Structure 1
Amino acid sequence: MLRIIGLGNRIYGDDGIGPCLAAALKSCSHQIHKNIEIIPLDLPSHGDITYLMGADTIILIDSILDDETKLYRIDINKATPSELLELAQSGSGHGLSPTTLVALAKASGILEDQAVYLLVIGPLTPSFGKGLSDNAIVKAIQALDSLVRVASHHGYKLNVDEGCVYSFLKDVCSDPLSPLDSDSRNRL
């Protein structure tokens, strides 16, 4: 099972790129492989380590303030919790950084030999009460190749309609309070 988890805090604008991109992937991926699960996590918490259970490949998506978009492979068997936490020092506008989530899951025995990746999208600028900036949307579209490449490397096919992702990010994520799932949007 491949699990793609987008983390962030949508009320801080660009910091919400993780859950927004995950929701866009979920909405805009054609023929999602039955062994691919995509989870947008707005305001992740300690209990969310359970989302790491049962997956052999995990891709975490988050924003980064002071660096360019990069894809990291986290070797959970070599990295100590303090080394994982050091990677998280880039700043987080939400309660739990992705590397803290991984460190907690490793310490609790949830993670053993899974392939874990961290895709950070940046540099981005959080803005309280604003939606995603045009810069964040462009960076997210550019990051799609990395996601597709990692999925393919592990035997998963992720068919993504870039135009649909762009529209979703531009339309749905322009308001940090709008629901990300279509069922909630249809009820409004």
Structure 2
Amino acid sequence: MKRIAIVGVGNRLMGDDGFGSYMAEALYGNVKGCDVIDLGAAGASAMEVLKDYDIIILIDAVAMDKDFDISRIDINIDSDEVTSTVLDFEYSGSHGVGIQSILTTLKIMGYAPEVYLVGCKPYVLDVKLGLSEELRRKLDQIVLSLTEFLKKNFGIEVTVDDTIKKLYGVVNNN
């Protein structure tokens, strides 16, 4: 059986960048059929956590035109990507390494999970706890879309009402 992880990524101190982290906390305990991990802004230490999964579903704030999207990510290893990853580690230190560099490094090391990105458009990326009002208005629809995707593609069950209630509780307490 394939090991699946839903992984929230983001810095809660930077407004909407914390979206993935908040979602992971809300999903924890409300999902059956996979692990839920809140990486926050973990950096290079995330590799040890992620290397044993066959499927990784990342939840993150992503600069994009759409408000919300789910797509499969193919990690390509070419000389430019390797150079970019090395520079990311060199200049960011182990704590500032981005998720793309972590996934590239995993592939270089021989780990090749299927990766899906649940991306949400951020509206506020300033030093601020909690999510912007613009993003908060979309949370119900995001949870419903994510739940449908998880059920349809992986047979993963999510307790929707409890997840939404917990999500608003987590976001409102920050």
Give the TM interval when normalised to the shorter protein.
0.7 to 0.9
Could you say which residue in structure 2 is the equivalent of 1:54? 52
- TM-score for the superposition, normalised by structure 2: 0.76
- TM-score for the superposition, normalised by structure 1: 0.71
> What RMSD, in angstroms, separates the aligned Cα atoms of the two structures?
2.7
Gaps of 5+ in 2: 85-94
How far apart, in 2, do the equivalents of 1:142 and 1:83 lie?
Answer: 34
Could you say which residue in structure 1 is the equivalent of 2:92? none
Could you say which residue in structure 2 is the equivalent of 1:143? 142
Q: How does 1:98-137 map to 2 (within 5 A)?
A: 98-109=99-110, 111-112=111-112, 114-137=113-136
Distance 1:80 1:140, change over 3 A: farther
Q: Percent identity?
A: 28
Deviations 1:104-148 (A, max 9, x none): 211222x22x22111111143223133112322333432334433
Could you say which residue in structure 2 is the equivalent of 1:80? 77
Distance 1:123 1:12, change over 3 A: closer
How far apart, in 2, do the equivalents of 1:64 and 1:141 lie?
Answer: 18
How far apart, in 2, do the equivalents of 1:99 and 1:80 lie?
Answer: 11
How far apart, in 2, do the equivalents of 1:27 and 1:17 lie?
Answer: 18
Letter in 1 for 2:104: A
How far apart, in 2, do the equivalents of 1:157 and 1:58 lie?
Answer: 13
Gaps of 5+ in 1: 86-93, 177-188
Letter in 2 for 1:51: V
- Is residue 2:10 matched to residue 1:3? no
